[in-house]
């Protein structure tokens, strides 16, 4: 049966607008705070052999954008809309979506998919706001954000107890990366003939990092300092875990009919590892060495280092190995996966994203598009039109604006604000238009 399914897939048309002979499976893997140059294939100093293998066999999206911080990226992925439409710009524990939001998981369920989240949710940190209420059949991991790697607790306070399976808070032993991986593999091994969507948002490499000795022992000697060594070990641990999920797909016969996507939720962090906000408070002290070079900025910024992340797509026989050089955005994945699955919205879902499949498969050419970001606290924002990008960062009562030609200056070193008045006016107008559509779907007690 599986062989027939694979053959049908191979014979199906490659164009995004053509009907699929069968519904593919989807595995979406998201790292947490993994910077542009934290991976070996972007010059990082930590070996990442599994991701390197995925890159060589699959397609790298070289200009893939996300939000500057975590909750907004997750909100965009599962809705196909810019996070600011929900009034969200920060990491937050309150419910992000109105309960009637048509999420990616709900859409796929409506056309027959089994759905699972194993990892970090952070779109509502109470069980009654969790993944099971937004389309996921099975849910496991952190309802809130990053957790202590061994006690699985979120930051001190109301949401510290966050580790769950479905709607029940639980306690378990083990390293968080191993637990998330094991749950994903178990769930994959239990699948039958129905199509599935597995979403694996790891907490790695979010602080606090504290890795088991075998991973520390494997860190290259050139990497010195306690936090840098734990951080490198965390990257390697994540990489190995991605390999285990890919191996499970191959072992269960699902690899040929599964699209795998790997990305990060934002750029690398440089914050203090042991910031005393987590209950255990026994982590190595020092700054996280997140590496976003040669891009400017870090997690939390609307500059490229905060929002442009390593991204890979792999589907044997369906996606040719190579690079996609066009601009892509986290909000594109819902339209893309829904199109492949055969889901057709019954109402206007107001997607800000577009279907990438015709572009990734070469059935359409890349045209000029407009992308948009709101940063933490709505105190930073950016718009990209074609290769031009305008950033605006709050300074006192005003805004500091900078204008960049990303085709010539991807590291955003040359501000053309004063030299390109017509271009500046064009991007200002685009930004103003996009902002006018914000906060049209804010969650309240009534919805």
446 pLDDT tier (thresholds 50, 70, 90) = confident
pLDDT of residue 21: 59
Q: Is the pLDDT of residue 417 over 80?
A: yes
Q: What is the pLDDT of residue 397?
A: 92
> Do residues 394 and 379 lie in contact, with contact meaning Cβ atoms separated by under 8 Å?
yes
**401 or 20: which carries more pLDDT confidence?**
401
Residue 422 in this model has a pLDDT that exceeds 70: yes
Q: Residue 59: what are its φ and ψ, rounded to 5°? A: -120, 130
Question: For residue 75, what is the DSSP state?
Answer: H
Contact between 428 and 434 under an 8 Å Cβ cutoff? The reply is: no
- What is the per-residue pLDDT for 438? 97
Tell me the pLDDT tens digit for each residue of 28-49: 999 999 999 999 999 999 999 9
Rounded to 10 degrees, what is the CA torsion of 211, 214, 220, 226? 30
Q: List pLDDT tens digits, range 161-173.
A: 999 999 999 999 9
Average pLDDT for 384-403: 98
The more confident residue out of 447 and 12 is 447
**Is the separation of the CB atoms in 130 and 124 below 8 Å?**
yes
pLDDT digits (tens, 9 = 90+) for 349-382: 999 999 999 999 999 988 899 999 999 999 999 9
Is the pLDDT at 2 greater than 70? The verdict is no
Q: How does the average pLDDT of the chain come out, rounded? A: 95
Domain ranges of the chain: 24-360, 370-435
Alpha carbons 163 and 171: distance in angstroms, whole number: 7
Mean pLDDT along residues 401-419: 98
CA distance 370 to 382: 11
Question: Residue 412's pLDDT is what?
Answer: 99
- Cβ atoms 215, 241 nearer than 8 A: no
CATH 3.40.50.2020 fits 24-360, yes or no: no
What CATH number labels 370-435? 3.30.1120.10
Beta-carbon count within 10 A of 347 CB: 6
pLDDT for 439: 97
Domain 24-360 and domain 370-435, same fold? Reply is no
Confidence of residue 440 (pLDDT cuts 50, 70, 90): very high
Nearest of 343, 262, 352 to residue 75 by alpha carbon: 352
CB 403 within 8 A of CB 420: yes
Cα(110)–Cα(129) distance, rounded to whole angstroms?
Answer: 20
pLDDT per residue as tens digits for the range 72-96: 999 999 999 999 999 999 999 999 9
CA-to-CA distance for 239 and 326, rounded, in angstroms? 26
DSSP readout, 380-440?
EEEEEETTEEEEEEEETTEEEEEEEETTT-TT-----TTT-HHHHHHHHHHHHHHHTTTTS
């Amino acid at each position: 049966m599986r062989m027939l399914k694979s053959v049908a897939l191979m014979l199906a048309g490659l164009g995004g607008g053509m009907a699929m002979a069968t519904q593919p499976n989807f595995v979406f893997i998201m790292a947490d705070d993994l910077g542009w140059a934290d991976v070996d294939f972007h010059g990082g100093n930590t070996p990442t052999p599994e991701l390197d293998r995925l890159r060589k066999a699959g397609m790298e999206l070289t200009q893939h954008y996300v939000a500057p911080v975590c909750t907004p990226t997750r909100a965009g992925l599962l809705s196909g809309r810019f996070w600011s439409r929900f009034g969200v710009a920060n990491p937050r524990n309150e419910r992000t979506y109105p309960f009637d939001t048509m999420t990616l998981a709900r859409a796929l369920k409506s056309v027959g998919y089994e759905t699972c989240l194993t990892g970090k949710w952070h779109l509502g940190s109470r069980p009654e706001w969790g993944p099971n209420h937004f389309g996921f059949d099975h849910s496991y991991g952190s309802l809130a954000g990053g957790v202590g790697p061994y006690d699985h607790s979120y930051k001190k306070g109301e949401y510290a107890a966050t580790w769950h399976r479905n709607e029940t808070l639980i306690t378990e032993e083990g390293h968080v990366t191993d637990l998330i991986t094991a749950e994903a593999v178990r769930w994959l091994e239990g699948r039958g003939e129905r199509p599935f969507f597995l979403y694996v948002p790891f907490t790695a490499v979010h602080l606090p990092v504290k890795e088991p000795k075998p991973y520390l022992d494997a860190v290259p000697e050139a990497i010195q300092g306690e936090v840098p060594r734990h951080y490198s070990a965390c990257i390697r641990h994540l990489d190995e875990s991605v390999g285990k999920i890919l191996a499970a797909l191959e072992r269960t016969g699902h690899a040929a009919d599964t699209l795998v996507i790997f990305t990060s939720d934002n750029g690398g962090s440089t914050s203090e590892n042991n910031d005393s906000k987590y209950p255990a408070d026994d982590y190595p002290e020092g700054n996280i060495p997140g590496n976003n070079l040669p891009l400017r900025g870090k997690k939390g910024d609307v500059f490229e280092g905060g929002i442009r992340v390593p991204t890979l797509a792999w589907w044997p026989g369906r996606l040719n190995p190579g690079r996609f050089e066009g601009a892509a955005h986290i909000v594109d994945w819902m339209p893309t996966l829904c199109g492949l699955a055969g889901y057709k919205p019954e109402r206007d879902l107001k997607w800000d994203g577009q279907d990438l499949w015709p572009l990734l498969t070469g059935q359409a050419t890349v045209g000029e598009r407009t992308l948009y970001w709101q940063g933490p606290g709505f105190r930073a924002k950016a718009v990209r039109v074609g290769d031009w990008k305008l950033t605006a960062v709050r300074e006192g009562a005003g805004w500091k604006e900078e204008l960049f030609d990303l085709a010539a200056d991807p590291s955003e070193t040359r501000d053309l604000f004063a030299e390109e008045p017509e271009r500046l006016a064009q991007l200002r107008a685009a930004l103003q238009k996009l902002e006018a559509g914000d906060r049209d779907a804010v969650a309240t007690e009534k919805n």
